[in-house]
Amino acid sequence: MGQTMYLAQGDMKVEEGISQVTKRVKEMAALSCGYNISVEELARARVYWQKKNEKVQEEYEPVLSIESGDVKMWPKYKNQTILDISNNLSIVILALRLSDQGKYTCVVQKPEKGAFKLQHMTSVMLWVKANFPTPSITDWGSPSSDTRRIICSASEGFPEPHLSWLENGEELSQNNKTKVSQDLETELYTVSSELDFDVTNNHSFMCLIKYGGLTVNQTFNWKARK
C-alpha cells in the first residue's frame, strides 16, 4: 500500500463524530467500519484500515487492505488482528497492548468512471487502559521478636506508579524499600514495598498507589497482644 492510498487532508473532514472504544490491556476490541458491502461489491472495491502515526502529523500506518477481494494484513498486525467482513468490515484486535491505542480509520473506495472514488470513511478512537488492581498486603512474618514485616504489591498497571505507606494520614519513610519494575514487552509496571513495624502497638496502615492521576489503596490493621 503506497502513498496513493492515503487520503488528502481535505477528505479528513468526513471524520467528524469519531466513535470511541475503551478496553483494558489483554482484552479484545472490535472496531467497526460502519459500512455494509456485498461480496460482489467487495470484489470491485478497495478497503483500507489504517492507524494514525502519533509521532508524525497527518501520517497513517497501514493495518490491512482489501483490493480485488484479496486481503493483505501488514506484518505488525498479522497474528493479532482479524477481519470480520460480514460485520460492517470490522477489525477485531486481540490481546490488546498499550501500543494499540490510537485512532484507526477505515476507507472504502469504489470504481467510478475509470478511477477509484471515496465512498465511505470513518474513524474509531481506541483507548487501551491498564489500571492497577487493588493492591494486596501480605504478612511476611517477624524479622525480630518485636517487629513484623508486611509487603504491599500490585502489578500490570500503567503509567509508572508511586507507592507510599500512610498511618494516621501521615506518610511513612520507607528507606528505599520500594521497588518498581517494567515489563519491556507489555510496558506494564509492577510495584512492591516492604514495611516493618513494632508489634507492641496497634496500627492501621494504608498502602497508597498513585499513577496517572488515579489511585488505588489497601489497608492493613494490626492489634497488639496484651
Whether residues 111 and 45 fall in one domain:
yes
Please give the residue range of the domain that contains residue 27: 19-129
Instruction: Examine the fold and report which residue of 103, 129, 155 is the final residue of a domain before the chain moves on.
Output: 129
> How many distinct structural domains can be found in the chain?
2
Whether residues 156 and 210 fall in one domain:
yes
How confident is the model over 42-92, as pLDDT tens digits? 999 999 999 998 777 668 899 999 999 999 999 999 999 999 999 999 999
Whether residues 141 and 205 fall in one domain:
yes
User: Is 9 domain-assigned?
Assistant: no
User: Is 195 domain-assigned?
Assistant: yes
d(CA 217, CA 153) in angstroms, rounded, equals: 10
Instruction: Examine the fold and report which residue of 129, 151, 167 is the final residue of a domain before the chain moves on.
Output: 129
Whether residues 86 and 168 fall in one domain:
no
How confident is the model over 134-185, as pLDDT tens digits? 999 999 998 888 999 999 999 999 999 999 999 998 999 866 689 999 999 8
Whether residues 115 and 196 fall in one domain:
no
The answer to whether residues 89 and 108 touch, using CB atoms and an 8 Å cutoff, is yes
Whether residues 187 and 112 fall in one domain:
no
